[in-house]
Structure 1
Amino acid sequence: MSERAEELKARVAAREAHMRESWVRAMEARIVQEQLQTCYRVEGVNHYENCREISEKYLTMLRENRVTGYKQVDV
């Protein structure tokens, strides 16, 4: 194979790995969201105190675990 073909294969593999990791982080956030919903239902009126840690974890995951594209375009 030529160098160009190997470079293209490496680029495609890197892009797929990036997208896979991005989706894994997004799905982790979804799991935490489901845990938070369950906690709200179970705890009732005490959910502000008892679900605080899960809530804070979910908020940080919302900020950090977004699905991003492979190319970053500065606007």
Structure 2
Amino acid sequence: MAFTEEQAAAIQATLNERKEHIRESWIRAMEAKIVRENLSKCYKIEGVNHIQKCKHLANRYTEMLRENKVKGYKHIDI
């Protein structure tokens, strides 16, 4: 079965969309990792005052954990 140029272009566009989606998903996951590392450093530096001084990082990290999950591409094709 041979593909026409239009079918091949559609398949290539789908594959490119999948790659882009997965790449963006990994970038968001790595951003969450960086925030976690900064939060860890803040805890170590601030000591007993970490609850007040690092609250913004903790809130941002928990928000990122909810939103920035690595997801596959299957939901794109449905």
For 1:70 and 1:30, how far apart are their aligned partners in 2? 22
1:57 aligns with 2:31: no
Amino acid paired to 1:13: N
How many residues of Structure 1 are paired with residues of Structure 2 in the alignment?
72
TM-score (norm 1): 0.93
Which of 46, 51, 54 is the equivalent residue of 1:43? 46
For 2:17 and 2:27, how far apart are their aligned partners in 1? 15
Q: Which runs of 4+ in 1 moved over 4 A?
A: none
Which of 2, 5, 9 is the equivalent residue of 1:2? 5
Unaligned runs of 5+ in 1: none
Among all aligned residue pairs of Structure 1 and Structure 2, give the percentage whose two residues are the same amino acid: 50
Tell me how far 1:17 sits from its aligned partner.
0.3
Amino acid paired to 1:22: S
Unaligned runs of 5+ in 2: none
- 3-state DSSP of counterpart to 1:59: helix
Higher Rg of the two aligned structures = 2
For 2:26 and 2:44, how far apart are their aligned partners in 1? 27
Match of 2:71 in 1: 68
Tell me how far 1:64 sits from its aligned partner.
0.2
RMSD of Structure 2 on Structure 1 (CA): 0.8
